[in-house]
Amino acid sequence: MEALFWSCLAGGVLFALVSVILGDWLSLALDGALDFLSMDGHKVFQPTAIVSGITVFGGAGLLLHRYTGTSPTSTVILAILIAIVAAVGMYFLYIRPMERSESSVGYSIRDLNGRLAEVLVPVPAGGYGEITLRIGGGVTHHIASGYEGESIPAGAKVVVIEVNAQEGTLLVSKVDF
C-alpha cells in the first residue's frame, strides 16, 4: 500500500516539475503530440486538477498510513476523499480564476459602429481611404469610404456610421469637435 502512495506522490511531483520547467519546450519540440492530454469534456477534468488530486492522494495516503491506526481500506477511502476535495479546490481556487483572467484582443468588425477614428490615407469623394482605430490596447487600420460619398482629408477625426461586413469596409463621416 505504501508503494502505491509513494508512486502517486512522486509521479505528481515529477509531473509538476516537468510541466513547469519543460512544459512549453516539450510541447514545441513534440509539435503538439501531447495535445491529447488536454481533455475535451467537463472543465473540472483538467489535467492539472487531476494530477494534483493524484499527488494529494499519495501524500494523504502516506500520512494516514503512518500516523493513524486506520485499516488499509479506510486509509485508501479517506485518501481518495481528501484527493477529491483537493482536486475540486484546485479547480475552483486556481484553474477557474486563471481561465477567467485571460483577456482577448479579438474583436468583430461589426463592433466598430459608433467608434471614433482618424483618417490615415485621405478618403476621396466616392472612393476609399484608410482609417486608424484604437481597440482595447492596440491600434487597427481599416479601409473606409465617406458615408455620403464626401472626401475626407488625412488627419480628420471621423466616426464609423455603418459597417459593410461583406466588403470589409467602414462608412465614416467627419466629426468636428
Give the tens place of pLDDT for each residue, 128-139.
999 999 887 788
Higher pLDDT, 41 or 110: 110
If 0-12 CB within 10 Å is exposed, 13-18 middle and 19+ buried, where does residue 162 land?
Answer: middle
From CA 24, how far away is CA 13, in angstroms rounded? Answer: 18
* Structure confidence at residue 44 (pLDDT): 64
Residue the block writes with cell 490596447? 137
Q: Which CATH class is domain 109-174?
A: mainly beta
41: its cell numbers = 469534456
> What per-residue confidence (pLDDT) applies to 63?
95
Each domain of the chain, given as residue ranges in start order, spans: 2-101, 109-174
Spatial contact of 145 and 128, defined as CB atoms under 8 Å apart = yes
Q: What is the rounded distance in angstroms from the CA atom of residue 175 to the CA atom of residue 32?
A: 50
Amino acid identity, position 122: P
